Homo-oligomer: A and B are copies of this chain.
Amino acid sequence: MTVFPLPATLIEKHVSAALAEDLGDAGDITTLATIGANKQGKAAINARKAGRLAGLDVAAAAFRLVDPGISLTARATDGDILKPGDTLLEVSGPVRAILSAERVALNFLGHLSGIASATSHLVEAIEGTGAKIVCTRKTLPGLRAFQKHAVRCGGGYNHRFGLYDAVMIKDNHIAANGSITNALRAAKKELGHMVKIEIEVDRLDQLEEALKERADVIMLDNMAPDMLREAVTLAKGKAVLEASGNITIETVREVAETGVDVISSGWITHSAPNLDLGLDYLDT
């Protein structure tokens, strides 16, 4: 899988907002008061812990938007495996600008690399099984495009981006329609031919009903490995099967080995801890 770059306009919009959040109306008063406008310097962002890189273009944008005169040299690429001490980005130019952009750059980079790292742990845990790790809509408000990008940097795939780009029929939708059959027929009747339709099932008889109505994807919600295996036996090749619910690094391989196609995790976007990274100033 390739890592896709984030749209440049998305990066600029969110990094500008983050800089405004940190600089406010008065700016970086510490730096303005203690560092001269002409002082030049050099620094590098280095990994402090092992992990997976995500957000380097975003971090670079933070420096560039504070001062287009800063010069930036990337020493790594999104998706790279990081060892402690690895240099990711070198920056040189006015010290004021470097100091003022530092925290915004690190906040993006540490958070996104944390997600990439968490994802990569799950991906590595299921290596060879053929299953894919995917993210969910359990993302942090305003950061979804960035978090979904980070998941890909960690070797995961993206589920739908929002309520708008694919159908996911859950128990309430089913209940309101009386049956899985009715709910799937309603979705197919109402929506265009470019929309994939997924439905959530808890039991194997529901799975059979969903297969009969040719759902594109079936989410097997919180099923134990044995039931997942039965589901795979029933459905393999007829629909994409997605296992979901309480996926952890300890349980993920067992789930993957049942033969499901896709395993989804909310944890990698809503709870992955920050990856430890820092900016080190270099003597010049």
Contacts and interface: CB of A to CB of B under 8 A. Distances in A.
Contact of A163 (B14, B15, B29, B141): B29
B163 A23 contact: yes
A254 to B, nearest CB: 21
B26 A161 contact: yes
Given A137-B22, A143-B142, A217-B193, A167 B30 contact: yes
Contacts of A273: 267, 270-271, 273
B194 A163 contact: no
A213 to B, nearest CB: 13
A127 B41 CA distance: 37
A192 B157 contact: yes
B35 A7 contact: no
The CB with the most chain B CB atoms within 10 A, among A37, A140, A266, is that of A140
A134 interface: yes
Contact of A164 (B25, B35, B132, B170): B25
Given A39-B176, A194-B159, A194-B166, A21 B141 contact: yes
A67 B186 contact: no
> How many copies of this chain does one complex carry?
6
B173 A35 contact: yes
Given A9-B65, A114-B271, A142 B18 contact: yes
Given A18-B142, A23-B164, A195-B29, A190 B271 contact: no
Nearest to A108: B141
Contact of A4 (B7, B32, B139, B159): B32
A158 B26 contact: yes
Interface string A11-45: 00011111111111111111111111101010000
A5 interface: yes
A283 B28 CA distance: 43
A173 B274 contact: no
Nearest to A262: B193
Contact of A176 (B35, B110, B140, B166): B35
A81 interface: no
Contacts of A271: 114, 273-274
27 contacts: A2-B33, A2-B190, A5-B27, A7-B27, A14-B142, A21-B142, A21-B144, A24-B161, A25-B144, A26-B148, A26-B161, A27-B164, A29-B195, A30-B163, A30-B167, A30-B169, A31-B173, A33-B187, A99-B173, A107-B270, A140-B140, A159-B193, A161-B164, A165-B194, A193-B262, A270-B273, A270-B274
- List of 9 A-B pairs having minimum Cβ-Cβ separation, nearest first: A24-B164, A18-B141, A271-B273, A25-B145, A33-B190, A165-B165, A28-B163, A26-B164, A270-B274
